[in-house]
Structure 1
Amino acid sequence: MKLPSHGRYAPSAIPTRPDYRWPNGARLAVVVCNNIEHFAYRAGLGSDSAQPGAPQSFRNYAWRDYGNRVGLWNMLEMLDELEIPSAHNVNSAALDYMPEIAPALLARGDEFIGHGRSNAERQDILWEEDERRLIVETRDAITRHAGTPPRGWLGPYLAQSHATLDLLREEGFRYMMDLPADDQPFWMATRAGPILSVPYSIELNDSPAMVFRQHSGREFAEMIIDQFDEMLAQSKRRPLVCSIVLHTFVVGQPFRLRPLREALRHILRHRDDIWLTRPGTLADHVAGMPRGLVPGSEMLPEPG
């Protein structure tokens, strides 16, 4: 029986891959990814603090808006206090809506990652021409606010059409984080050349954990610690990427921020043993590695 396949990447069992190290000899890379989102008022898509699939209302619009008005600023203060670099998956509409956001991220030297126009819509239901327009409008709006175009992409709701990877590569994106398929980066085929998949967790992610599965902030902090400790031990055998995924309107709430801070402090006690980085920096490093080390790298052009 031949099952349908995407044809973007080949199967690859992690114990069979070549070994390598991250910068400074580290075996575990840690990335903190924050999501900055803006939604339509009483329309489109959007999560709810009380129940999955609730209709859009003034209440849940305001709950999500807390992230831009308060939660993000709580989080940035914590990241500054702990001296943690971060990347932000940004709806371009959020930068237009709240003009204070982009300067604050630029002041930290943080990375802007394309995250669609708004999380009130998804791209996988669009015709190819309309999906390209969404990607281009997102890229250009972020460029206007950040001064440089984003090189990475995370689709709203991590949703992809059959053409998403092709469109991203054709419009200048060099990596994406939509595929939770691995704990190492890997290259994927597009009609315009390879694009890199950077690990991005939907398990160690505050939105599905606390909004949909109704875990507490303390339980989520314990998940972070358990994930980090186990991956640090596993990294003795192979290089890994531990991604921690946050949303301003979820962990930006003060009672959730306190256990999150404790979990991040636990990670920082191992700062000399890890590579604390951003996805774009990690993607740049992988792009400069010799062919044959990273799955799919045989698709890359020969150097020189």
Structure 2
Amino acid sequence: MTFDTKFDRYGFSAIPDRPVYDFPGGKRLAVYFALNIEAFEFGRNPGNDFTSMPSPPFHRGYAYRDYGNRVGIWRIQRLFAEFDIPLGIIVNASVYDACPDVLVPFRERGDEIIGHGRTNSERQVDMSAEEEAAMMAEVVGRITAEEGRPPRGWLGPFISQSPQTPELLKKNGFEYMLDWFYDDQPTWFRTGEGPILAVPYPSMELNDLPAYVNRKASDGDFTTMLIDCFDEQLEESSLYPQVFAASLHTFLTGQPHRIRQLRRVLAHIAARRDSVWITTPGEIARHVAALPPGTVVGP
């Protein structure tokens, strides 16, 4: 696979120079939490397991992640229900086969379902153009059949994209993607099929997996990061609108000691509910897409 080194998907724009707009209720900080619900194929590398370099059949990593769907997810579900905070559910289509029961309480609550590939054991960048197109169509079809409506948002497994992914997203009816984290505001992203919204997603920072696994942050460190980021962005939102986003994984944050930490974070944010818009990435995309042309930067 070859890549074009000329990049023209979006241009430079300094955030202080942009038009200022409000979110619903005159608020300037939109807040959402994304929960990754994933399924893996046994024998294919699911990723790090905190101990040593994994090797086939990767049973430790597989079992560790299976814990998330068997146990951890239910702790997370109860906590978000307790604080009445919606979720963006980032889901592999294979979850409908592996453990469909885990999606029931989120569906009943009206949480947003976001496409996340077929399985977290494969990456789009490793696929041929034909394989990726077939995979995406399969995912859209499965989610539509199970949920009664197609997904509006997409995050690739491993946050992976091929050179054709943005065009495929448009062809399959997606309104926004979470794969590109280069801003604190949604922006328009150029594709050969017309623009698509890039909604901020914490792929590098407020994402529990790279924080705990790659950067070796402690549980308390991550809690401090979440609260400090929220507080700073809330203060800065007097200048211009922003999105606070946090990403959680069932097998990491679903551990009992981390649920204690997450409760502190949700209590802190819920106490400021009147000052922020607590929502989902799909609702953020819907709101900014309806703003007057030229309000949201992009090609």
Q: Same fold (TM over 0.5)?
A: yes
Q: TM-score range by the shorter chain?
A: over 0.9
Equivalent residue number for residue 215 of structure 1 = 217
> Which of 232, 243, 249 is residue 234 of structure 2 equivalent to?
232
- Tell whether 2:286 aligns with 1:281: no
1:92 aligned counterpart, secondary structure: coil
Render the CA deviation track for 1:56-104: whole Å, top value 9, x for unaligned.
Answer: 5212111000111111111000000111011111001112111212322
Partner of 1:153: 154
* Kept in 2: contact 1:36–1:90 (CA 8 A): yes
What's the CA shift string for 1:107-152, capped at 9, x where partnerless? 1100100000111110012111111111111111111221111010
1:51-66 equivalences in 2 (<5 Å): 51=51, 53-56=53-56, 57-66=58-67
- Residue 206 of structure 2 is matched in structure 1 by 204
Give secondary structure in 1 for the equivalent of 2:22.
coil
Q: 1:14-33 CA deviation, whole Å, 9 max, x = no partner? A: 11111111110101000110
1:51, CA displacement in angstroms?
Answer: 4.4
SS in 1 for 2:278: strand
Question: What corresponds to 2:28 in structure 1?
Answer: 27
Distance in 1, Cα, partners of 2:243 & 2:52: 30
Q: Deviations for 1:194-231, whole angstroms, at most 9, x for unmatched residues? A: 10000001200000001222212221111100110111
> What letter matches 1:54 in structure 2?
P
Give the 3 Å change call, closer, same or farther, for CA 177–53 of structure 1 in structure 2: farther
Aligned partners of 2:248 and 2:87: how far apart in 1? 10
Asked if 2 retains the 8 angstrom alpha-carbon contact of 1:174 and 1:196, the reply is yes
User: Greater CA deviation, 6-15 or 71-80?
Assistant: 6-15
Tell me the TM-score normalized by structure 1. 0.94
Aligned twin of 2:274: 272
Change (3 A) 1:246 1:197: same
Residue aligning to 1:133: 134
Question: Is the 2:37–2:90 Cα contact (8 Å) retained in structure 1?
Answer: yes
Q: 1:6, 1:35 → 2: CA distance?
A: 29
For 1:84 and 1:264, the matched residues in 2 are separated by 8
The one-letter amino acid paired with 2:144 is T
Asked if the contact 1:102/1:146 (under 8 Å) is kept, the reply is no
Select which of 289, 293, 296 maps to 1:294.
296
Cα 1:288–1:52 change in 2 (3 A) is farther
Q: Deviations over 1:156-198 (max 9, x none)?
A: 0111111000001001111000001000000111121110000
CA distance in 1, matches of 2:55, 2:134: 28
Residue identity matched to 1:125: D
In the alignment, what sits opposite 2:261?
259
The answer to whether the Cα contact below 8 Å between 2:197 and 2:285 also exists between their aligned partners in 1 is: yes
Aligned to 1:5: 6
> 1:166-181 counterparts in 2 under 5 A?
166-181=167-182
Instruction: Give the ranges of 4+ consecutive aligned residues of structure 1 lying more than 2 Å apart after TM superposition.
Output: 3-6, 51-56
Report the secondary structure of 1:227's partner residue: helix
| Residues in 2 aligned to 1:165 and 1:26: alpha-carbon distance in whole angstroms | 30
Show structure 2 runs of 5+ residues with no match. none
Cα drift, residue 52 of structure 1:
7.2
Q: Which residue of 2 aligns with 1:302?
A: none
CA distance in 1, matches of 2:225, 2:100: 34
The CA distance in 2 between the partners of 1:201 and 1:54, in whole Å, is 26
Kept in 1, the 8 Å contact 2:49–2:60? The answer is: no
Tell me the amino acid that sits aligned with residue 145 of structure 2.
R
For the aligned residues, what is the CA RMSD? 1.4
Report the Cα distance in structure 1 between the residues aligned to 2:223 and 2:255, rounded to whole angstroms.
Answer: 14
Letter in 2 for 1:77: R
Q: Matched residues, percent identical? A: 46
Q: How does 1:105-124 map to 2 (within 5 A)?
A: 105-124=106-125
Deviation, structure 1 residue 295:
0.5
Relative distance call for 1:70 and 1:200 in structure 2 (3 A) is: same
Kindly indicate whether the alpha-carbon contact (under 8 Å) linking 1:9 and 1:187 is maintained by their aligned counterparts in 2. yes
Structure 1: which amino acid aligns with 2:46? G
